Amino acid sequence: MCELLKQQGITDDAVLKAMGAVRRHWFLDSALDALAYEDRALKIGADQTISRPSTVAMQSQLLCVESGMKVLEIGTGSGYQAAVLSKMGAKVFSIERQKELFDHTRPLLAELGCRVRCFLGDGYQGLTEVDQAPFDRIIVTCGAREMPEALMAQLKVGGIMVIPIGGDDTQEMLRFTKTGEGRGEWEKEEFGRYSFVPMLDGRQMH
Ligand code: SAH
């Protein structure tokens, strides 16, 4: 899989190393074992999908994570992206809005020994359950309609947020670097079109 990722422009050694070590099939139903290392999104239940490995790698690379950084992820899903970031040495906090996925993935990540704290909540609000903001990095793994202001407020000045923004079908992968505490004080870079499941409001308790 790492060879394929290199061909797709992934050059960050820490990302390649983490993705070589964290096995993707651990996060999937065993019926999907044969497909786990293909570059495609796969079903994880609750109408959601695990992102393609190339997308996980690209988002991880764009995030410029360093060991020890506090990272907030929106959209825990299967836990795969969170596990990769934790393998890279990040302290990961991850929010999922669907209870079914939260109940499945939190114990799985604990069992695998990943340093990830999972929360059931609405990522549009950021992390409100515990007082851990501001974060060095924020990664959103579902497609947002607009920049969630509460999330930007929870990012450190100098911090980076990677977030796909657009419509329900496709979104632009954006990287924001926060330059000050005021509204609109950030720089934005664009990294092409992707297709994520939508980022939805509110938590879902079933
Ligand atoms: N990072 C995940 C990707 C899962 S797909 C992985 O590696 O498997 C995106 C996830 O975002 C879905 O599980 C979906 O339920 C969740 N999601 C959508 N809107 C959300 C919101 N507002 N807050 C938190 N999670 C959300």
Range of the domain at 42: 2-194
Cα angle 58, 93, 200; round to 5: 75
Q: Is the CB of 142 under 6 A from ligand 1?
A: yes
Task: Enter the pTM of the model.
Answer: 0.97
- What tens digit of pLDDT does each residue of 81-92 get? 999 999 999 999
Question: Is the residue at 205 inside a domain?
Answer: no
pLDDT at 103: 97
- What tens digit of pLDDT does each residue of 138-160 get? 999 999 999 999 999 999 999 99
Question: Is the residue at 203 inside a domain?
Answer: no
In the annotation, is 78 catalytic? no
Gap between the Cα atoms of 162 and 62, Å rounded: 7
Question: Is the residue at 32 inside a domain?
Answer: yes
Question: Is the residue at 14 inside a domain?
Answer: yes
Gap between the Cα atoms of 35 and 102, Å rounded: 23
Q: Is the CB of 22 under 6 A from ligand 1?
A: no
Question: Is the residue at 142 inside a domain?
Answer: yes
Mean pLDDT on 31-38: 95
Mean of per-residue pLDDT scores for the chain = 96
The pLDDT-based confidence of 202 (bands split at 50, 70, 90) is confident
Q: Is the CB of 63 under 6 A from ligand 1?
A: no
Question: Is the residue at 62 inside a domain?
Answer: yes
The pLDDT-based confidence of 203 (bands split at 50, 70, 90) is confident
Residue 79 has pLDDT above 90, yes or no: yes
Question: Is the residue at 22 inside a domain?
Answer: yes
Mean pLDDT on 46-74: 97
Residue 26 belongs to a domain with what CATH number? 3.40.50.150
Q: Residue 99 is encoded by which pair of tokens?
A: 């209870």
Structural domains of the chain, count: 1
